[in-house]
Structure 1
Amino acid sequence: MRKFKRLGWGLLALVGVLAVVIGSLTYHLKPDYDGEKKLQNLSEEVDVYYDTYGIPHIYAKNDADAFKALGYVHAQDRLWQMELLRRIGKGGLSEVFGKDLLGTDKFFLALGIDDYSSETIAKLNTSDAAVQMSQAYLDGVNQFVEEGPTPVEFYLTGIDKKPFILKDVYNTIGYMAFSFAMAHKTDPLLSKIKDKLGFEYLKDLEIDSDTTTQWIKNYPRNKTDSIHKSISDVMASLKKLSIPLFEGSNGWAIAPEKTKNGKVIFSNDPHIGFSQPSVWYEAHVSTPTYEKYGYHLAGVPYPLLGHNRKLAYGMTMFENDDVDFYYEKTHPTDTRKYRSGNEWKDYEIIAKTIKVKDSDDVHFSYKKTQHGPILNGIADQVTGERPISMWWIFTKVENKLLNSLYNMSYATTLDDFQHALEDLHAPGLGIVYGDAEDNVAWWAAAKLYKIPDSVNTKFVAENGKGLPVEKEYLDFSKNPHAINPPWEYVYSANNQPDSIAGMLYPGYYLPENRARRIVQLLESKNDWDKETVGDMITDDTSPVNVEIVRMLLKKVEVDSLSATHLKILDGLKQWKGDYPTESTEATVYHRWMYFILRNTFKDELGDTLFEEIQNTHLIKRTIAPIVANEGSIWWDDASTQDITESQADIVNVSFQEALQALEQTLGSDSSSWIWGRVHTIEHGHPIGQIDALRSFFNVGPFSVNGTREVINNMFFPYTEDGVYKVSSGPSTRRVVDFSDVENSMSILPTGQSGNPFSIHYKDQAEMYVNGEFRKMMLNKEEIISTSKSVLTFKPEN
């Protein structure tokens, strides 16, 4: 008995020690939201008031001091995220995570982001305000790096904190530009399909513009080989690390004529891969000459999304094609040379070194042509004898992105803001704008160039064909745009834009689904207010999916169905295309659609290419058109001989397989096949991949409304098991009402802080899932009176 008592006291003591250790870690490693700190080279005192959700409201006497304070508070909440993002472009992930990331590091080094950043830094004018404010921000970041508590992730991965430099900012922006580009996923894949099956099979894939879908209209202001495997592996490795990948977005601005209070209402929800922490860091910065409530990427001083009392702006992906692939021809007897026009040129050999955790440094080299890097052999994943090079506009044009972001942030009028966009060359962005002067506008911000009708940019170009190295760039005025159009709203949903220069712009546009719904809703009302726009931004209805179901139901052979299955069909007939968690029709539709896609494409493509095509926008664009095309060559099952399957055959077989699969996984009672059982969201942290640490670092899982390609765009990849784990969606939901700008509203997917010991690590997660909002505070008196935490920075002297 005494032994058991001693054991009990021993266990109690151990628990007590653990509690003390955990409590000590929590106290020492959590961010400081209260008190006073000395900040180096600060000219005057800066006050930072934290609101209920941990958003810093920074009040300073001058801009440089404000940006120093911003850098410090940003770092104490997001230093680990800053560290990861700055490492991607320079090939530094293997140093943290080991040799499994070598392929990813080699790929990004070959893209040339790091070299391009070095070239840009060498040309910078250090007297530019954009550079000076950026350096002030980095000074604040680095003081936290030097003096602040080390985030727990640094201890767990064994890496040291190091100062941040201006080049890190450019490398982070470069990674963002890459994650927007869809050509990396699509062009090599289409070339593989063409080579394997022939052009006949490409005719029914949506590789060209579809004039029957919902396009973004223009309104000028003054108008009266196997390269796919390497890229796929790179994207997969970033997803495993829960590094945010930019996927899509919605944005719209409603003119005063269509709002209840007669002022502009602005809305934006960029779609980005879910991660923990979420991609955006919110901060409200106010000085006598500058004020912005902004959304910042980790390590970038200027917000990509923002508003104040004068104007609001946000972004979507433009989806233009700014990457081209070329087959190169190596000299038959001298492998150091390649064909360029009528002459042979020397390959440029680029040598790089990668630091690898718990291993020796890895040295590698790659070849480069006039077009760009040769991707064969990068990470030992690209095979095939024909060299393939990649031309990417991001590294080919002078980099003015930092100046552009600075000028966007400091703009006070529509004209100022539009001028700032002229320096955005890549990635292509759809910028949505609204202001207090009753203006609404949308611009495609990108460096566009002329493409002859004879050139299809979605295939790897043969030697001597394709676009020339020297592009004929268009003036910014020729970019698609709409300013104060007579239909009294602007929007962008990554869909096809109309032409403004007598030509279309090749791209990887998403299907019309979200665009149609946005236009349908905006056209239906002339009394919009903040609350109804808030409802709209969480809308989960798809009119396109309803049309698809109606077409499919016409093909179903009902005679062979049981009473239970007929009841399921009746439910689909009545379905409104909505996706609440209690819907059973939503579950049946997507299980059916998966089997239709698998039975339609997998027999011709095989496992690898079928997996690849599902990761492109192309398949999203193809679903509705191919269901409407009874005569498509894809319907025939290539694995069966002497039999030609019809669309009806595939539809019926797929329906039976879907029902059987649902019964096996969810039970025989179809009323229990609710969407919330299979459609879930979990915000993953890189360290959360370790099972023992998952519950500490990850947030969720939660059952969640929405689906692919509705306004509440909760995207998931189709899987064999029918479990739909949401991988990307609204990275924030924002509504700015200029009739009551101080009560504009927003939400983040998890919380403001990336520090797991912070009370703001996940305090918005359930609100987000429930479609709720919180206030974006601008009123200083209200901020001060409601703030429970004040951090004051004082000059060292």
Structure 2
Amino acid sequence: MRILKKTLLIFTTIIALAILGGWMYYNSLKPTYSGNLSLSAIDKKAEVYFDDYGIPHIYAETEKDALTVLGYVHAQDRLWQMELMRRIAPGRLSEIFGKDMLKNDKFFVSLGIEEASKKSIEKLSQNSEVYKLATAYLNGVNQFIDEGPTPIEFTLIGIEKEHYQLTDIYNILGYMSFSFAMAHKTDPLLTAIKEKLGQNYLKDLNIDINPNTVLIKNSKQSIEDFTNLVSEVNNIINQSPIPPFIGSNSWVVSGKKTTTGKVLFANDPHIMYSQPGTWYEAHIKTANYEMYGYHIAGVPFPLLGHNRNYAYGLTMFENDDIDFYQEENHPSNVNKYKTPNGFKTYNTFTKTIKVKDENDVTIKVRSSRHGPIVNDVIETISTTNPIAMSWVYTQQEGKVLDALYTISRATKMEDVKKGASMIHAPGLNIMYGDAKGNVAWWAAGKLYKHKSQVNSKFILDGTSSEEYPIEFLDFSNNPMAENPKWNYVYSANNQPDTIANMLYPGYYLPEDRAKRIIQLLEPKNNWNKQAMAIMINDVTSSVAPEIIKEFTKIMDFNSFSKNEQRAIDVLQLWNGENTIDHVAPTIYNKWVYLYLKNTFKDELGDTMFNQLMNTHLMKRMIAEVVKNKNSIWWDDISTKDNIENRKDILSKSLIEAVAALEKQLGNDIKDWNWGKVHTLEHGHPLGTIASLKKYFNVGPFPMKGAREVIDNRGYEYNNTGLYKVTAGPSTRRVIDFSDVENSISILPTGQSGNPFSKHYKDQTEMYNKGEFRKMKMNKEEIISVSTKLIVQPK
């Protein structure tokens, strides 16, 4: 008995020690939000107040000290995210994730981002404020790496922490500049469609095809090369652990349209969802500087921000800054390619990629005068037809970090405009409003012209001098508006008007969101913060009811079954709202998918149809093709004896939609609620492991919103009838210059990327409901709800 008691005591002690050790380890991994901290490289004591949502409010004597502290607190909440961000451009994901990320690494290595980063750094003066502040930020990050706890992700994957360098900042900005890769998804696909089906099919896709365009003639094998390129890029982007920018809304209303006579500013950048989310908020106050900013991981200067004097934000411009050229190899020497002046030798470089649990992989990449040969890193493309990628980002001088510094340190509107002019890529709409009553937007990005016969939406002829840009435009020719007479500016990724006697080529979104924004802004002159908050959550489509009306005016109502008629009634009575309780969005989205499938798949086949569905072009086609009763696409070429028309295809799609929904959700239409099929889960890279999913992922949740409404959601159309949201508002901000200290915002999950922090997902419920919290700037209010971290010089 005595032995049993002793054994039980030992066992109990071991269990208790294990629990205690686990508890201590758990608490050791939490961010430090209070107490005392010593940092080298700061000159005087600084204070950090972490408010009730974990947002740091940094009070320091100098910007250098403030940026050092920012680097430390940013790293303690987001070091894992920083690690992923800095690994993408130089091709270092395989090093931690293994061979599954090798395609991603090969592709990004070939883009030349790292080489462009090194060139930019060589031109950066070490006496400049940009260099000094970026170095201060890196000092803070590296001190956390040396002295702070190791994030759980590093331990689980088994990787060592490494110091951050200036190159990492530039590489992160390079990845951001690569952005949505829409040129890779569109240009090769359109070339393949042109070669397979001919020009008449392209006319109805409204891509502004010029009949005089010089197009290279290709074999069937080359068509496969182009579709393979699209497939590989889609896979690479979908597998990336860090989400790309995809769109955005913003509008800025002058005091002439507000109840207070002061400017109102709204912005909600649309980005692929992830956990942690994109933005890290930080409020900095020094003797000479104040900014409430939104930072991406690893970058010292905010991409979005405001203070008491001005606010700025961004949307994607969606301009075309990538062209593809098909080169022609020398007939007997594959190391040379044809140019207008004879054959030249490819520039080549090799790079070794480390792969976890595998041998290192060495790749060789060739570059022509246009850019890198994508065949060298995408194995499914035939090596006999080299395709080169020409990208503005790597061909022009990179000043994006300088631009962010200039914009975030502005003292007048012209400073922000100057900063916008320094951005060559990615294409961004810089939105602006200030306390003096100014509103403005500038399209940032280095725009260029081709000769009139060249259509850059297709693969161009690399052997010709006729298809190379003839002029890079001065920034003064970029789209912009400053204090327009209509008293507001807006952007919804739609086609901008011209001020340079040309329409700027791009991959613009349809008019849906832009139309809705104008519908709401134009007639109203009594805007306030509350009304703006409602508008930024608006879920009503301005276009969907018009599409339904176009269909219902040509259909034969009595030819449908009772349940099909009920579905039509629901659609006809629908005002375009997309809440989780509505039924109409479920019917509409299923019908739209089937209408697209029944219209385009017979000509394109499975692969090209699925690729088309992943382009912005497809979104523009939804309304345009429905209105075109004479479109060549309506006929189903698989039915040899019949020629189908618009009514046939749209009616067939409605019948199939109802049948599919009956099978999926039951026969009672009242049960077909949008929230049952439209859901959002914020995925962490480790959430793909079943046993870790519940600890790292956030969700899933039924979700309001839809494609191309103001509360924009991205999701795939497929046969499942489920719409798993992959993208949407990465933050919603409303800034009121009549009451700046009570301006409002929200994040999709939380401020911290540390799963042990109470701020990992504490904003999720508010975000899902369309609610907000304050962006606090009043020190007394901040102190009243905050914990305090005192930072002393070592």
TM over 0.5, yes or no?
Answer: yes
Q: Distance in 2 between matches of 1:385 and 1:762?
A: 51
Contact 1:241 1:685 in 2 (8 A): no
Match of 2:418 in 1: 419
Match of 1:724 in 2: 723
Q: Distance in 2 between matches of 1:420 and 1:205?
A: 36
The amino acid of 1:294's aligned partner reads: G
Shift of 1:6: 13
Q: Distance in 1 between matches of 2:151 and 2:378?
A: 31
The amino acid of 1:127's aligned partner reads: N
Match of 1:588 in 2: 587
Identity %: 54
Contact 2:582 2:673 in 1 (8 A): yes
Cα distance 1:633–1:57, how it changes in 2: closer, same or farther (>3 A)?
same
Q: Does 1:193 align with 2:193?
A: yes
Shift of 1:276: 0.2
Shift of 1:638: 1.8
Shift of 1:120: 1.6
Match of 2:213 in 1: none
Q: Which is further off, 503-512 or 172-181?
A: 172-181
Q: Distance in 2 between matches of 1:597 and 1:422?
A: 40
Match of 1:351 in 2: 350
Shift of 1:565: 2.5
Match of 2:73 in 1: 73
Q: Distance in 2 between matches of 1:312 and 1:282?
A: 14
Q: Distance in 1 between matches of 2:19 and 2:605?
A: 54
Shift of 1:419: 1.2
Match of 1:46 in 2: 46
Residue-by-residue CA offset, 1:144-202 (whole Å, 9 max, x unaligned) = 01111000110111111000000000000000011144211111111111111111111
Shift of 1:333: 1.3
Residue-by-residue CA offset, 1:545-577 (whole Å, 9 max, x unaligned) = 110011122233322323333222111111101
Secondary structure at the residue paired with 2:522?
Answer: helix
Q: Distance in 1 between matches of 2:90 and 2:48?
A: 33
1:489-568 maps to which residues of 2 (within 5 A)? 489-568=488-567
Match of 1:222 in 2: none
1:93-492 maps to which residues of 2 (within 5 A)? 93-208=93-208, 225=223, 226-383=225-382, 385-465=384-464, 469=468, 471-492=470-491
The amino acid of 2:198's aligned partner reads: G
* TM superposition score normalised by structure 2: 0.95
Cα distance 1:29–1:228, how it changes in 2: closer, same or farther (>3 A)?
farther
Contact 2:229 2:380 in 1 (8 A): yes
Q: Distance in 2 between matches of 1:297 and 1:345?
A: 41
Contact 1:181 1:322 in 2 (8 A): no
Contact 2:450 2:468 in 1 (8 A): no
Shift of 1:260: 0.6
Contact 2:247 2:492 in 1 (8 A): yes
Secondary structure at the residue paired with 2:179?
Answer: helix
Contact 1:90 1:171 in 2 (8 A): yes
Match of 1:791 in 2: 789
Shift of 1:206: 2.6
Match of 1:92 in 2: 92
Match of 1:34 in 2: 34
Shift of 1:142: 0.4
Q: Which is further off, 449-458 or 273-282?
A: 449-458
Cα distance 1:265–1:165, how it changes in 2: closer, same or farther (>3 A)?
same
Cα distance 1:324–1:128, how it changes in 2: closer, same or farther (>3 A)?
same
The amino acid of 1:90's aligned partner reads: P
Cα distance 1:466–1:580, how it changes in 2: closer, same or farther (>3 A)?
farther
Match of 2:748 in 1: 749
Secondary structure at the residue paired with 2:126?
Answer: coil
Match of 1:628 in 2: 627
Match of 1:700 in 2: 699
Contact 2:185 2:234 in 1 (8 A): no
Q: Distance in 1 between matches of 2:538 and 2:467?
A: 44
The amino acid of 2:660's aligned partner reads: A
Contact 1:425 1:447 in 2 (8 A): yes
Shift of 1:385: 2.5
Q: Which is further off, 370-379 or 290-299?
A: 370-379
Secondary structure at the residue paired with 2:543?
Answer: helix
Secondary structure at the residue paired with 1:244?
Answer: coil
Unaligned runs of at least 5 residues, structure 2: 211-222
Shift of 1:469: 4.9
Shift of 1:234: 4.1
Q: Which is further off, 181-190 or 140-149?
A: 181-190
Quote the RMSD (CA, aligned, Å): 2.0
Shift of 1:631: 1.0
The amino acid of 2:675's aligned partner reads: G
Secondary structure at the residue paired with 2:337?
Answer: strand
Q: Distance in 2 between matches of 1:470 and 1:532?
A: 45
Cα distance 1:448–1:238, how it changes in 2: closer, same or farther (>3 A)?
closer
Shift of 1:87: 0.5
Contact 1:377 1:383 in 2 (8 A): no
Match of 1:219 in 2: none
Shift of 1:655: 0.8
Residue-by-residue CA offset, 1:694-719 (whole Å, 9 max, x unaligned) = 11100000101100000000111112
Residue-by-residue CA offset, 1:602-631 (whole Å, 9 max, x unaligned) = 111111111111111000011100000111
Match of 2:214 in 1: none
The amino acid of 1:791's aligned partner reads: L
Q: Distance in 2 between matches of 1:14 and 1:524?
A: 72
Q: Distance in 1 between matches of 2:490 and 2:526?
A: 17
Secondary structure at the residue paired with 2:720?
Answer: coil
Shift of 1:26: 2.0
Secondary structure at the residue paired with 1:380?
Answer: coil
Match of 2:216 in 1: none
Secondary structure at the residue paired with 1:143?
Answer: helix
Match of 1:610 in 2: 609
Contact 1:180 1:247 in 2 (8 A): yes
Secondary structure at the residue paired with 1:351?
Answer: strand
Secondary structure at the residue paired with 2:246?
Answer: strand
Match of 2:709 in 1: 710
Shift of 1:412: 1.4
Match of 1:680 in 2: 679
Secondary structure at the residue paired with 2:169?
Answer: helix
Q: Distance in 2 between matches of 1:52 and 1:732?
A: 18
Cα distance 1:467–1:566, how it changes in 2: closer, same or farther (>3 A)?
same
Contact 1:355 1:362 in 2 (8 A): yes
Cα distance 1:477–1:8, how it changes in 2: closer, same or farther (>3 A)?
farther
Contact 1:571 1:585 in 2 (8 A): yes
Contact 1:581 1:676 in 2 (8 A): yes
Unaligned runs of at least 5 residues, structure 1: 211-224
Q: Which is further off, 594-603 or 298-307?
A: 594-603
Q: Distance in 1 between matches of 2:707 and 2:608?
A: 21
Q: Distance in 2 between matches of 1:780 and 1:229?
A: 56
The amino acid of 2:479's aligned partner reads: P
Residue-by-residue CA offset, 1:359-410 (whole Å, 9 max, x unaligned) = 1110110211000011113141323621110100000011111111100010
Q: Distance in 1 between matches of 2:715 and 2:9?
A: 50
Contact 2:280 2:294 in 1 (8 A): yes
Secondary structure at the residue paired with 2:389?
Answer: strand
Contact 2:262 2:437 in 1 (8 A): yes
Cα distance 1:747–1:300, how it changes in 2: closer, same or farther (>3 A)?
same
* TM superposition score normalised by structure 1: 0.95
Q: Distance in 2 between matches of 1:573 and 1:505?
A: 37
Cα distance 1:409–1:378, how it changes in 2: closer, same or farther (>3 A)?
same
Cα distance 1:741–1:7, how it changes in 2: closer, same or farther (>3 A)?
farther
Contact 2:273 2:730 in 1 (8 A): yes
Q: Distance in 1 between matches of 2:581 and 2:404?
A: 43
Q: Distance in 1 between matches of 2:741 and 2:8?
A: 57
Cα distance 1:227–1:115, how it changes in 2: closer, same or farther (>3 A)?
farther
Shift of 1:471: 4.7
Q: Distance in 2 between matches of 1:493 and 1:748?
A: 20
Secondary structure at the residue paired with 1:74?
Answer: helix
The amino acid of 1:98's aligned partner reads: G
